[in-house]
């Protein structure tokens, strides 16, 4: 089995290889799939999202429409202590350049505690049929999610293109946290066996 860094390099190149016309069409389909999932989960009001980097699907146009429909969209902020926190999305003008050159909420914005979050929309490098997620390697999400009490973790929904699917099981370690589902341009995949 390849190690994580080799797999990460391979699937990052797949993710970036989506052409601009394809990307626009796929991202629109992904947003429609997200909205379809949310229609069935009417109790989900507070959702995390992300600002795309390195070829990740761009769903930022959905942030505005979701907010208008009554959802609270939270974006991650990375601190110098390698910690992640989540803050309400307002507009892109209220974001600043943070670690890894990614736009993030400003330091003085309100932090929302993790017990209030209903669902995480998570970027990823690759995923497999067991719900394993390969991220960029920083471990921020796994660390943030690790101290939820058993059975109390929110729904974890990966956001990806279909070419990020690994037909081989991804290598994992004990601290890796599985996804409950993935949305790509072909639809919604649910992982029933996720703990």
Q: Which fold has domain 4-190?
A: Rossmann fold (3.40.50)
Query: pLDDT of 74-113, one tens digit each?
Result: 999 998 778 899 999 977 668 999 988 899 999 899 999 9
The pLDDT, as a whole number, for residue 17 is: 97
Query: pLDDT of 122-169, one tens digit each?
Result: 999 999 999 999 999 999 999 999 989 877 899 999 999 999 999 999
The 3-state secondary structure of the chain reads: CCCHHHHHHHHHHHHHCCCHHHHHHHHHHHHHHHHHHHHHCCCCCEEECCCCCCCCCCCHHHHHHHHHCCCEEEEEEECCCCCEEEEECCCHHHEEECHHHCEEECCCCCCCCHHHCCEEEEECCEECCCCCEECCCCCHHHHHHCCCCCCCCCEEEEECCHHHECCCCCCCCCCCCCCCEEEECCEEEECCCCC
Residue 23: band (very low, low, confident or very high) from pLDDT cuts 50, 70, 90: very high
46-55, 84-93, 149-158, 181-190: least confident range: 84-93
Span 46-67, mean pLDDT?
96
Query: pLDDT of 102-126, one tens digit each?
Result: 999 998 999 999 999 999 999 999 9
Q: Kindly state the percentage of the chain with pLDDT values over 70.
A: 97
Q: How far apart are CA 172 and CA 142, in angstroms?
A: 12
Span 47-53, mean pLDDT?
97
* Contact call for residues 174 and 132 (beta carbons, < 8 A): no
User: Does residue 195 carry a pLDDT above 60?
Assistant: no
The residues spanned by each domain of the chain are 4-190
Span 15-20, mean pLDDT?
97
């Amino acid at each position: 089995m390849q190690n994580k860094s080799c797999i990460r390099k391979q699937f990052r190149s797949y993710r970036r290889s989506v052409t601009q016309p394809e990307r626009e069409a796929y991202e629109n389909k992904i947003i429609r799939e997200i909205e379809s999932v949310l229609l069935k989960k009417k109790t989900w009001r507070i959702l995390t999202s992300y600002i795309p980097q390195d070829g990740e699907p761009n769903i930022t146009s959905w942030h505005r429409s979701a907010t208008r429909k009554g959802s609270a969209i939270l974006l991650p902020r990375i601190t110098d202590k390698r910690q992640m926190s989540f803050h309400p999305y307002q507009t892109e003008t209220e974001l600043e350049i943070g670690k890894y050159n990614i736009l993030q909420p400003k330091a003085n914005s309100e932090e929302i505690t993790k017990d209030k979050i209903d669902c995480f929309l998570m970027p990823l490098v690759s995923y497999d049929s067991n719900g394993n997620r390969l991220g960029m390697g920083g471990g921020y999400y796994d660390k943030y999610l690790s101290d939820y009490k058993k059975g109390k973790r929110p729904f974890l929904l990966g956001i990806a293109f279909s070419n990020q699917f690994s037909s081989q099981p991804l290598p994992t370690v004990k601290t890796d946290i599985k996804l409950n589902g993935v949305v790509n341009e072909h639809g919604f995949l649910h992982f029933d066996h996720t703990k």
